[in-house]
Chain A
């Protein structure tokens, strides 16, 4: 098992550009989520999905879109990047919404918006 795979590892964008952060998991997990990590603020939930075709907003959803067309993939889209979106982004998954199993994290994407 590869676990949770995120691409790219690093990305630099100019303000206003768009891009998609990719996330894939091979554990047949129903639940997938995106977090951003900023110094001193821990991880904050952006969007999550409890299964294919179902997504919902987290704590900081503005400026980000998601979709879940398959169980395996959960891409995060920035439509018009802003400097405030400079952060490290983590994708994480767990078996299902209702269990207490831990989240499995990818290794992150470090995004800089200039």
Chain B
């Protein structure tokens, strides 16, 4: 069974500082990995995804993530935080080759951006 662990349920950063959100996964097969963002009272929307190919993935709003197979990690970064980045972020893993192609989510990390 696949699983996702996000380290830190809350992260506080200053505006302009680096944002680093950690995600580790377990999967019995090469995974597909996703980061989603959720703004208050909204559904989740995709930030970026890794399926195959280049291990450094760029997403929307200046975010990027690096797939490290040896570390089973997919950490999300943004060089300079903006006030609009305040939201909850979810890492997720799926295996398109498995029945149902179910997406398994981590517990989420809520980001607070201080002016």
A interface vs B, CB < 8 Å? 4, 31, 33, 35, 40-45, 48, 50, 56, 58-59, 90, 92, 97-100, 102-103, 105-108
CB <8 Å contact, B96 and A100: yes
Of B45, B51, B107, B108, which one neighbours A105 at CB under 8 angstroms? B45
Residues of B3-53 at the interface with A, using a CB-CB cut-off of 8 Å, are: 4, 6, 9, 32, 34, 36, 41-46, 49, 51
Contact of B84 with A by CB under 8 A: no
Size category of the B interface is 20 to 34
Contact of B94 with A by CB under 8 A: yes
Nearest-CB residue, chain A, relative to B43: A105
Nearest-CB residue, chain A, relative to B47: A102
Chain B 82-115 interface mask (CB, 8 Å, partner A; 1/0): 0000000010001011011111111110000000
